[in-house]
Structure 1
Amino acid sequence: MGIGKRDEITVIASGKVAMGFDMVEKLALGADMCNAARPFMFSVGCIQALRCHTNTCPTGVTTQNPARSRSLDVDTKAERVHNYHKATIASFMDIVGTQGLDSPDELGPQHIFRRSLKGPSRPCTSLHPTIEAGAFLRNEVPEEYAEAWQLARADHF
Protein backbone atom coordinates (compact mmCIF):
# COMPACT_ATOMS: atom_id res chain seq x y z
CA MET A 1 0.00 0.00 0.00
CA GLY A 2 2.72 2.43 0.99
CA ILE A 3 4.27 2.47 -2.47
CA GLY A 4 1.01 2.12 -4.39
CA LYS A 5 1.58 -1.41 -5.71
CA ARG A 6 -0.93 -3.44 -3.64
CA ASP A 7 -3.36 -3.82 -6.55
CA GLU A 8 -0.55 -5.35 -8.63
CA ILE A 9 0.55 -7.89 -6.01
CA THR A 10 -1.09 -11.09 -4.79
CA VAL A 11 -0.25 -11.89 -1.18
CA ILE A 12 -0.30 -15.62 -0.43
CA ALA A 13 -0.02 -16.65 3.22
CA SER A 14 1.74 -19.96 3.61
CA GLY A 15 3.06 -21.51 6.79
CA LYS A 16 1.30 -21.77 10.13
CA VAL A 17 -2.01 -22.24 8.31
CA ALA A 18 -3.66 -25.29 9.86
CA MET A 19 -7.00 -24.18 11.32
CA GLY A 20 -9.90 -21.94 10.40
CA PHE A 21 -8.64 -19.23 12.75
CA ASP A 22 -5.26 -19.21 11.01
CA MET A 23 -7.01 -18.44 7.74
CA VAL A 24 -9.14 -15.70 9.35
CA GLU A 25 -6.01 -14.10 10.80
CA LYS A 26 -4.02 -14.16 7.57
CA LEU A 27 -6.86 -12.86 5.41
CA ALA A 28 -7.81 -10.16 7.92
CA LEU A 29 -4.22 -8.92 7.95
CA GLY A 30 -4.10 -8.58 4.17
CA ALA A 31 -3.47 -11.92 2.50
CA ASP A 32 -5.42 -12.62 -0.68
CA MET A 33 -5.33 -16.37 -0.14
CA CYS A 34 -3.88 -19.07 2.11
CA ASN A 35 -1.88 -22.18 1.26
CA ALA A 36 -1.45 -25.15 3.56
CA ALA A 37 0.67 -28.26 3.14
CA ARG A 38 1.75 -29.72 6.48
CA PRO A 39 -1.75 -30.20 7.94
CA PHE A 40 -2.80 -32.06 4.80
CA MET A 41 0.27 -34.27 5.10
CA PHE A 42 -0.83 -35.07 8.67
CA SER A 43 -4.35 -35.88 7.48
CA VAL A 44 -2.84 -38.41 5.05
CA GLY A 45 -0.83 -40.04 7.83
CA CYS A 46 2.55 -38.28 7.93
CA ILE A 47 4.28 -38.76 11.28
CA GLN A 48 7.15 -36.35 10.57
CA ALA A 49 9.79 -39.04 10.51
CA LEU A 50 11.88 -36.51 8.53
CA ARG A 51 12.89 -39.13 5.99
CA CYS A 52 10.95 -37.73 3.01
CA HIS A 53 14.08 -37.20 0.92
CA THR A 54 15.40 -40.74 1.53
CA ASN A 55 12.52 -42.66 -0.09
CA THR A 56 12.15 -44.60 3.18
CA CYS A 57 9.05 -42.93 4.64
CA PRO A 58 7.74 -45.36 7.28
CA THR A 59 4.09 -44.49 6.59
CA GLY A 60 4.39 -44.64 2.80
CA VAL A 61 3.25 -41.05 2.38
CA THR A 62 6.38 -39.65 0.70
CA THR A 63 7.92 -42.63 -1.02
CA GLN A 64 8.01 -43.98 -4.54
CA ASN A 65 8.94 -47.42 -3.21
CA PRO A 66 5.96 -49.73 -4.00
CA ALA A 67 6.70 -51.96 -1.01
CA ARG A 68 6.56 -49.00 1.40
CA SER A 69 3.53 -47.36 -0.17
CA ARG A 70 1.42 -50.56 0.00
CA SER A 71 0.12 -49.54 3.42
CA LEU A 72 -1.23 -46.28 2.03
CA ASP A 73 -4.93 -46.84 1.30
CA VAL A 74 -5.68 -44.02 -1.11
CA ASP A 75 -9.46 -44.17 -0.74
CA THR A 76 -9.31 -44.00 3.07
CA LYS A 77 -6.69 -41.24 3.03
CA ALA A 78 -8.65 -39.26 0.44
CA GLU A 79 -11.65 -39.34 2.78
CA ARG A 80 -9.49 -38.09 5.65
CA VAL A 81 -8.10 -35.22 3.57
CA HIS A 82 -11.61 -34.31 2.43
CA ASN A 83 -12.92 -34.34 6.00
CA TYR A 84 -10.02 -32.24 7.26
CA HIS A 85 -10.48 -29.64 4.53
CA LYS A 86 -14.25 -29.54 4.99
CA ALA A 87 -13.90 -29.08 8.78
CA THR A 88 -11.25 -26.37 8.35
CA ILE A 89 -13.40 -24.37 5.94
CA ALA A 90 -16.46 -24.83 8.20
CA SER A 91 -14.44 -23.55 11.16
CA PHE A 92 -13.23 -20.61 9.08
CA MET A 93 -16.76 -19.68 8.05
CA ASP A 94 -18.05 -20.11 11.62
CA ILE A 95 -15.48 -17.61 12.87
CA VAL A 96 -16.31 -15.16 10.10
CA GLY A 97 -20.02 -15.45 10.97
CA THR A 98 -19.35 -15.16 14.70
CA GLN A 99 -17.76 -11.79 14.02
CA GLY A 100 -21.04 -10.67 12.46
CA LEU A 101 -19.70 -10.67 8.93
CA ASP A 102 -21.56 -11.89 5.85
CA SER A 103 -18.44 -12.74 3.87
CA PRO A 104 -14.70 -13.33 4.38
CA ASP A 105 -14.22 -10.34 2.06
CA GLU A 106 -15.29 -8.13 4.98
CA LEU A 107 -12.39 -9.25 7.20
CA GLY A 108 -9.93 -6.58 8.20
CA PRO A 109 -7.23 -5.95 10.79
CA GLN A 110 -9.85 -4.54 13.17
CA HIS A 111 -11.14 -8.12 13.57
CA ILE A 112 -7.86 -9.46 14.96
CA PHE A 113 -6.66 -8.58 18.45
CA ARG A 114 -3.17 -9.06 19.84
CA ARG A 115 -2.37 -9.65 23.48
CA SER A 116 -0.10 -7.18 25.14
CA LEU A 117 2.26 -7.87 28.01
CA LYS A 118 1.48 -4.37 29.25
CA GLY A 119 -2.26 -3.87 29.32
CA PRO A 120 -5.29 -5.17 27.47
CA SER A 121 -5.49 -6.76 24.04
CA ARG A 122 -5.59 -4.31 21.18
CA PRO A 123 -6.86 -4.59 17.62
CA CYS A 124 -4.18 -4.92 14.97
CA THR A 125 -5.29 -1.57 13.55
CA SER A 126 -3.75 0.09 16.61
CA LEU A 127 -0.47 -1.79 16.08
CA HIS A 128 -0.33 -1.42 12.30
CA PRO A 129 -1.98 1.76 11.08
CA THR A 130 -3.88 1.88 7.81
CA ILE A 131 -1.79 3.32 5.02
CA GLU A 132 -3.11 5.11 1.97
CA ALA A 133 -1.88 3.95 -1.42
CA GLY A 134 1.40 5.67 -2.27
CA ALA A 135 1.76 7.34 1.14
CA PHE A 136 5.41 6.31 1.53
CA LEU A 137 6.28 7.91 -1.80
CA ARG A 138 4.76 11.18 -0.54
CA ASN A 139 6.88 10.93 2.64
CA GLU A 140 3.77 10.19 4.71
CA VAL A 141 5.34 7.34 6.65
CA PRO A 142 3.70 6.44 9.99
CA GLU A 143 6.09 6.29 12.94
CA GLU A 144 5.52 2.51 13.24
CA TYR A 145 7.11 2.00 9.80
CA ALA A 146 9.68 4.83 9.70
CA GLU A 147 12.74 2.80 10.69
CA ALA A 148 11.95 -0.08 8.31
CA TRP A 149 11.25 2.35 5.47
CA GLN A 150 14.61 4.06 6.01
CA LEU A 151 16.34 0.66 5.72
CA ALA A 152 14.39 -0.40 2.59
CA ARG A 153 16.40 -0.48 -0.63
CA ALA A 154 15.41 -1.44 -4.16
CA ASP A 155 18.82 -2.93 -4.91
CA HIS A 156 18.85 -5.61 -2.18
CA PHE A 157 16.52 -7.71 -0.07
Structure 2
Amino acid sequence: MLDERDRKILGLLQANAEQPVNDIAAAVALSPSACSRRIARLKDEGFILRTTTELDRRKMGLPTTVFVIVRTGSHAADWLDKFHSAVSAVPEIVEVHRLTGNFDYILKIVLPDVEHYDVVYKQLVSRIELFDMSAYISMETVKAAQGLPTNYA
Protein backbone atom coordinates (compact mmCIF):
# COMPACT_ATOMS: atom_id res chain seq x y z
CA MET A 1 0.00 0.00 0.00
CA LEU A 2 1.32 3.40 -0.96
CA ASP A 3 1.44 6.41 1.29
CA GLU A 4 1.69 10.07 0.30
CA ARG A 5 5.52 9.99 0.29
CA ASP A 6 5.52 7.00 -2.07
CA ARG A 7 3.14 8.82 -4.41
CA LYS A 8 5.32 11.93 -4.35
CA ILE A 9 8.45 9.85 -5.03
CA LEU A 10 6.72 8.22 -8.01
CA GLY A 11 5.66 11.63 -9.34
CA LEU A 12 9.18 13.00 -9.01
CA LEU A 13 10.71 9.97 -10.71
CA GLN A 14 8.22 10.22 -13.59
CA ALA A 15 9.18 13.86 -14.09
CA ASN A 16 12.91 13.07 -14.06
CA ALA A 17 14.23 9.61 -13.26
CA GLU A 18 17.82 10.90 -13.35
CA GLN A 19 17.51 13.30 -10.43
CA PRO A 20 19.73 12.40 -7.50
CA VAL A 21 18.23 10.42 -4.63
CA ASN A 22 19.37 13.23 -2.31
CA ASP A 23 17.09 15.68 -4.13
CA ILE A 24 14.13 13.29 -4.05
CA ALA A 25 14.76 12.57 -0.36
CA ALA A 26 14.81 16.29 0.45
CA ALA A 27 11.55 16.84 -1.47
CA VAL A 28 9.75 14.14 0.55
CA ALA A 29 11.46 14.83 3.90
CA LEU A 30 13.35 11.54 4.16
CA SER A 31 16.98 10.60 4.57
CA PRO A 32 18.65 9.52 1.32
CA SER A 33 18.98 5.93 2.57
CA ALA A 34 15.30 5.73 3.57
CA CYS A 35 14.31 7.23 0.21
CA SER A 36 16.54 4.77 -1.64
CA ARG A 37 14.92 1.86 0.23
CA ARG A 38 11.46 3.15 -0.74
CA ILE A 39 12.47 3.40 -4.39
CA ALA A 40 13.82 -0.16 -4.26
CA ARG A 41 10.55 -1.35 -2.67
CA LEU A 42 8.50 0.46 -5.34
CA LYS A 43 10.54 -1.38 -7.98
CA ASP A 44 10.22 -4.73 -6.19
CA GLU A 45 6.45 -4.29 -5.87
CA GLY A 46 6.11 -3.51 -9.57
CA PHE A 47 5.05 0.14 -9.35
CA ILE A 48 8.17 1.10 -11.29
CA LEU A 49 8.38 -1.13 -14.34
CA ARG A 50 11.53 0.23 -15.94
CA THR A 51 13.53 3.40 -16.49
CA THR A 52 13.68 4.70 -20.05
CA THR A 53 15.02 7.68 -21.94
CA GLU A 54 12.71 9.97 -23.88
CA LEU A 55 14.20 11.07 -27.18
CA ASP A 56 13.51 14.34 -28.95
CA ARG A 57 11.36 13.35 -31.93
CA ARG A 58 12.39 16.34 -34.03
CA LYS A 59 16.09 15.67 -33.52
CA MET A 60 15.44 11.99 -34.31
CA GLY A 61 13.82 13.07 -37.61
CA LEU A 62 10.29 11.98 -36.62
CA PRO A 63 8.25 15.17 -36.13
CA THR A 64 5.03 13.94 -37.77
CA THR A 65 2.31 11.99 -35.97
CA VAL A 66 -0.42 10.12 -37.79
CA PHE A 67 -3.27 8.30 -36.07
CA VAL A 68 -4.80 5.46 -38.04
CA ILE A 69 -8.24 4.06 -37.29
CA VAL A 70 -8.56 0.41 -38.32
CA ARG A 71 -11.63 -1.72 -38.87
CA THR A 72 -11.10 -5.43 -39.32
CA GLY A 73 -13.04 -8.05 -41.18
CA SER A 74 -12.05 -10.80 -38.76
CA HIS A 75 -11.67 -11.34 -35.04
CA ALA A 76 -10.41 -14.91 -35.23
CA ALA A 77 -7.47 -15.85 -33.02
CA ASP A 78 -5.13 -16.53 -35.94
CA TRP A 79 -5.95 -13.12 -37.49
CA LEU A 80 -5.31 -11.41 -34.14
CA ASP A 81 -1.93 -13.12 -33.88
CA LYS A 82 -1.04 -11.99 -37.42
CA PHE A 83 -2.21 -8.44 -36.63
CA HIS A 84 -0.11 -8.28 -33.46
CA SER A 85 2.91 -9.52 -35.42
CA ALA A 86 2.26 -7.09 -38.27
CA VAL A 87 2.08 -3.98 -36.09
CA SER A 88 5.05 -5.14 -34.01
CA ALA A 89 7.17 -5.44 -37.15
CA VAL A 90 6.76 -1.77 -38.11
CA PRO A 91 8.93 0.42 -35.82
CA GLU A 92 7.13 3.64 -36.78
CA ILE A 93 3.96 2.25 -35.15
CA VAL A 94 4.63 3.25 -31.54
CA GLU A 95 1.20 2.56 -29.99
CA VAL A 96 -1.74 0.31 -30.81
CA HIS A 97 -4.98 0.30 -28.84
CA ARG A 98 -8.00 -1.99 -29.25
CA LEU A 99 -11.20 0.06 -29.10
CA THR A 100 -14.85 -0.29 -28.31
CA GLY A 101 -17.44 1.17 -30.66
CA ASN A 102 -17.42 1.44 -34.45
CA PHE A 103 -13.68 0.92 -34.90
CA ASP A 104 -11.41 -1.90 -33.82
CA TYR A 105 -7.98 -0.31 -33.36
CA ILE A 106 -6.18 3.02 -33.29
CA LEU A 107 -2.51 3.18 -34.20
CA LYS A 108 -0.14 5.99 -33.34
CA ILE A 109 2.55 6.31 -36.00
CA VAL A 110 5.59 8.61 -35.91
CA LEU A 111 7.09 9.63 -39.23
CA PRO A 112 9.72 11.87 -40.79
CA ASP A 113 7.00 13.47 -42.95
CA VAL A 114 3.45 12.86 -44.16
CA GLU A 115 4.66 11.28 -47.40
CA HIS A 116 6.35 8.50 -45.42
CA TYR A 117 2.92 7.30 -44.28
CA ASP A 118 2.57 5.51 -47.62
CA VAL A 119 5.67 3.43 -46.84
CA VAL A 120 4.24 2.38 -43.48
CA TYR A 121 0.82 1.75 -45.03
CA LYS A 122 2.32 -0.58 -47.63
CA GLN A 123 4.34 -2.44 -44.99
CA LEU A 124 1.24 -2.99 -42.90
CA VAL A 125 -1.15 -4.08 -45.64
CA SER A 126 1.47 -6.46 -47.06
CA ARG A 127 1.46 -8.28 -43.72
CA ILE A 128 -2.25 -8.33 -42.82
CA GLU A 129 -5.62 -7.92 -44.51
CA LEU A 130 -7.63 -5.01 -43.11
CA PHE A 131 -11.22 -4.06 -43.87
CA ASP A 132 -10.73 -0.28 -43.58
CA MET A 133 -7.98 2.16 -42.58
CA SER A 134 -8.39 5.90 -42.10
CA ALA A 135 -5.42 8.15 -41.38
CA TYR A 136 -5.54 11.39 -39.40
CA ILE A 137 -2.57 13.74 -39.29
CA SER A 138 -1.91 15.40 -35.96
CA MET A 139 -1.55 19.13 -36.46
CA GLU A 140 -0.53 19.92 -32.87
CA THR A 141 0.12 18.05 -29.65
CA VAL A 142 -2.02 19.83 -27.08
CA LYS A 143 -1.12 17.54 -24.19
CA ALA A 144 1.36 14.71 -23.91
CA ALA A 145 1.55 13.64 -20.29
CA GLN A 146 4.87 12.12 -19.34
CA GLY A 147 3.54 10.25 -16.35
CA LEU A 148 0.53 8.73 -14.68
CA PRO A 149 -1.56 10.29 -11.92
CA THR A 150 -0.26 8.86 -8.64
CA ASN A 151 -3.34 9.41 -6.49
CA TYR A 152 -5.14 6.16 -7.48
CA ALA A 153 -2.58 3.66 -6.17
User: What TM-score, normalized by structure 1, do the two folds share?
Assistant: 0.22
Q: Could you say which structure has the higher helix fraction?
A: 1
User: What TM-score, normalized by structure 2, do the two folds share?
Assistant: 0.22
Q: Could you say which structure has the higher strand fraction?
A: 2
